[in-house]
């Protein structure tokens, strides 16, 4: 493969930052982290046929490969800085790489993220991105700090990306799914909200596998339970328009993945402060329940009647193989 020509195309759109002492072109990149900051690292891989379908535009793959990683930094309350890109391509396809770079750099430039290195190999199509960011020492948001009595919040709306995927799987052309498809292909990581929640949220996670599954991680790591009002989950008009009410509210919103919203907890006495902080970064947020003592996750409808938890709460790799 004309690997160097491909790398050069990526390098041209890599961006630069003062904390990058050495970027693409040497054996490794050199970064100078600002004083007093902790380095935050995350990696996520998108594989064709697993995380995106064959035929998804390369620009959307480029965008999403970075977006899912920036979402992890958002959930930590971190500010992103640089990324590494490991790209596996079936062929030496410069048009694909250019289009991929268009999507990747559109999001990278928005958040001042520089591409500082990577790896380019031949094989089944996959993009693995590593991101690095900063958070002031001790200020990171983790999954572990939720306490009984805390409010449970969610940003944006839930279920839209899963709705787009369900429409596509049922044979409805993606073009007709408009807003929902945008949510699946080009998720917007909630970086501003993550920063705004420093010092306010007691625990935080990004919703990638499904709301109940990801909330479950906060509960397990914090050693608490939660009472959730299912009918309070933020629902987009587009999702309600495309699906029967029960499908939207009882399946897609609860268990659908790929939302990349933030699910977080905060003390009830910080309610106004949370609302004001998120208003200031134009991020809608909804209170959907509260944290309880014990370890149980309980769902209720709008009348306060208990609902059964769905059997499968999110996406799990390797479940069929039992690995």
Residues of this chain that interact with ligand ADP (CB under 6 A) are 7, 10, 24-27, 85, 87, 115, 117-120
Using the contact rule CB under 5 A, the part of the chain among 27-35, 92-100, 224-232, 296-304 near Mg ion is 27-35
Least Cβ distance, residue 217 to ligand ADP (angstroms): 30
Decide whether 26 or 279 has the Cβ nearer to ligand ADP: 26
The answer to whether 258 touches 184, Cβ cutoff 8 Å, is: yes
Length of the chain (residues): 323
Question: Using CB distances below 5 to 8 A depending on partner kind, what does residue 119 bind out of Mg ion, ligand ADP, none?
Answer: ligand ADP
Decide whether 92 or 301 has the Cβ nearer to ligand ADP: 92
Least Cβ distance, residue 199 to ligand ADP (angstroms): 35
Decide whether 27 or 272 has the Cβ nearer to ligand ADP: 27
Question: Using CB distances below 5 to 8 A depending on partner kind, what does residue 256 bind out of ligand ADP, Mg ion, none?
Answer: none
Least Cβ distance, residue 26 to ligand ADP (angstroms): 5
Question: Using CB distances below 5 to 8 A depending on partner kind, what does residue 77 bind out of ligand ADP, Mg ion, none?
Answer: none
Alpha-carbon distance 72 to 41, whole Å?
Answer: 9
27 binds Mg ion (CB under 5 A): yes
Question: Using CB distances below 5 to 8 A depending on partner kind, what does residue 120 bind out of ligand ADP, Mg ion, none?
Answer: ligand ADP
The answer to whether 190 touches 262, Cβ cutoff 8 Å, is: yes
Which residues have a Cβ under 8 Å from the Cβ of 194 and sit 6 or more positions away? 73, 74, 75, 76, 77, 78, 141, 204, 262
Least Cβ distance, residue 14 to ligand ADP (angstroms): 7
303 binds Mg ion (CB under 5 A): no
The encoded tokens of residue 194 equal: 């993550």
Alpha-carbon distance 315 to 1, whole Å?
Answer: 35
For 293, counting Cβ atoms within 10 Å of its Cβ (0-12 exposed, 13-18 middle, 19+ buried), the class is exposed
Which residues have a Cβ under 8 Å from the Cβ of 130 and sit 6 or more positions away? 41, 42, 43, 69, 83, 84, 85, 86
Decide whether 7 or 140 has the Cβ nearer to ligand ADP: 7
Residue nearest to Mg ion (CB): 27
Alpha-carbon distance 152 to 52, whole Å?
Answer: 30
Alpha-carbon distance 162 to 165, whole Å?
Answer: 5
4 binds Mg ion (CB under 5 A): no
Question: Using CB distances below 5 to 8 A depending on partner kind, what does residue 118 bind out of ligand ADP, Mg ion, none?
Answer: ligand ADP
Binding mask 228-257 for Mg ion (x = CB under 5 A): ------------------------------
Least Cβ distance, residue 73 to ligand ADP (angstroms): 19
Least Cβ distance, residue 44 to ligand ADP (angstroms): 15
Residues of this chain that bind Mg ion (CB under 5 A): 27
């Amino acid at each position: 493969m004309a690997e160097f020509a491909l790398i050069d195309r990526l390098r041209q759109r890599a961006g630069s930052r003062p904390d990058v002492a050495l970027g693409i072109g040497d054996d490794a990149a050199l970064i100078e982290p600002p004083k007093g900051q902790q380095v935050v690292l995350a990696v996520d891989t998108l594989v064709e046929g697993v995380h995106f379908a064959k035929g998804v535009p390369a620009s959307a793959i480029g965008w999403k490969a970075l977006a899912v990683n920036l979402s992890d930094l958002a959930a930590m309350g971190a500010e992103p800085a640089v990324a590494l890109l490991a790209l596996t391509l079936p062929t030496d396809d410069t048009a694909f790489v250019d289009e991929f770079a268009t999507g990747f750099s559109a999001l990278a430039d928005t958040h001042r993220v520089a591409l500082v290195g990577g790896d380019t190999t031949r094989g089944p199509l996959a993009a693995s991105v590593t991101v690095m960011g900063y958070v002031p020492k001790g200020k990171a948001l983790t999954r572990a700090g939720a306490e009984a009595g805390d409010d449970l919040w969610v940003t944006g709306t839930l279920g839209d990306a899963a709705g787009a995927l369900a429409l596509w799987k049922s044979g409805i052309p993606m073009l007709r799914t408009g807003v929902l498809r945008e949510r699946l292909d080009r998720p917007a990581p909630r970086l501003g909200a993550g920063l705004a929640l420093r010092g306010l949220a007691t625990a935080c996670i990004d919703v990638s596998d499904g709301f109940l599954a990801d909330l479950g991680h906060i509960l397990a790591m914090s050693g608490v339970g939660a009472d959730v009002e299912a009918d309070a989950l933020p629902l987009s008009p587009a999702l309600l328009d495309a699906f029967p009410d029960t499908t939207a509210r009882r399946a897609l919103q609860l268990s659908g993945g790929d939302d990349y919203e933030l699910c977080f907890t905060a003390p009830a006495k910080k309610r106004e402060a949370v609302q004001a902080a998120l208003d200031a970064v134009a991020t809608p947020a909804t209170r959907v329940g509260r944290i309880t003592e014990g370890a149980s996750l309980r769902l209720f409808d709008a009348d306060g009647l208990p609902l059964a938890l769905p059997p499968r709460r999110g996406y799990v790799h390797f479940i069929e193989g039992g690995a």
